[in-house]
Amino acid sequence: MRQWYWALAAAALLLVAGCGHRQQRAYTPPPPPPATAQSAQPEFPNEEEAPLGKPIYTEVGMASWYGTVYDKRHAADGSVYDQDGMSAAHRTLPLGTLIRVTNLANGKSAMMRVTDRGPFIPGRVIDLSQGAAKKLGMWRAGVAKVRIDAYEAPKPIYEGGRWCVQIGAFSHEGTAKKLEKRLARKYQAASVIEFKGPTGDWVRIRPENGDKARAIQIVRNIRISEGAAFLVRLD
């Protein structure tokens, strides 16, 4: 009987020893699923939803809107203007600049890009497409005080660029041509042209190399009996 007891005890010890030396297996997590075409898309395809951060430029002033007369015409950046789309005209921000415009009267805002030049009316800082004006709730009023916040520009805002002085609009072509001749004699180093726009005839003075400092000097010193002079960036 005692021999049977010791045989059972020896068998138990061997079983415990075998378990103690069994090799442990490390857990390896499965590899991540392969990237799909959808995951390669921009996280914020809609510019309205993208986190914008701090503006690189801010301006407050009066906005107006433009529509039917310009619809389907080529804008300053070469695109076809769509009055029902979301775009803006600004005289000095680089073409293609991403901006948010906020109507300070009602807090409504919209994202758009600068695709055109204007407005060419004293006291206005930006012209909105008809679609943008409706989104900001200023379509019926025609004008509104707004804040312009720029977040992305294809070129430096404060440096460089190609600049000109644009004068008009003149209701009679003859008046514009007379001014063109007078200014061409005065600014012989500049390119002076007369051209027709949707709202009348215009005269443009482009300093040599499109120099900004020279354009600012011209717009400050020029004296004309008709029309108004505006500093305009061409690019």
What are the residue ranges of CATH 2.40.40.10 in the chain?
Answer: 57-152
What are the residue ranges of CATH 3.30.70 in the chain?
Answer: 163-233
DSSP 148-201: EEEEE-SS-SSS---EEEEEEEESSHHHHHHHHHHHHHH-TTSEEEEEEETTEE
Angstrom distance (rounded) from CA 38 to CA 214: 50
- Confidence at 120, pLDDT banded by 50, 70, 90: very high
pLDDT(221) > 70: yes
Domain 163-233 indexed as CATH 3.30.70: yes
Do β-strands 200-206 and 163-170 pair in parallel, antiparallel, or remain unpaired? antiparallel
Q: Which two tokens stand for residue 235?
A: 């690019």
Q: What is the pLDDT of residues 123-146, one digit of tens each?
A: 999 999 999 999 999 999 999 999
The reported pLDDT for the residue numbered 51 is 59
When pLDDT is averaged across residues 49-66 and rounded to a whole number, the result is 88
The reported pLDDT for the residue numbered 101 is 98
When pLDDT is averaged across residues 144-164 and rounded to a whole number, the result is 97
Q: What is the pLDDT of residues 160-194, one digit of tens each?
A: 999 999 998 898 999 999 999 999 999 998 999 99
The reported pLDDT for the residue numbered 3 is 47
Give CATH for domain 57-152.
2.40.40.10
pLDDT(36) > 70: no
Backbone angles phi, psi at 194, to 5 degrees: -115, 135
The reported pLDDT for the residue numbered 197 is 85
Residue carrying structure tokens 């690019």: 235
Specify whether the CB–CB gap between 143 and 62 falls below 8 A.
yes
Q: In the chain, pLDDT over 70 holds for what percent of residues? A: 78
The reported pLDDT for the residue numbered 225 is 80
Spatial CB neighbours of 230, under 8 Å, sequence gap ≥ 6: 91, 120, 165, 166, 167, 219
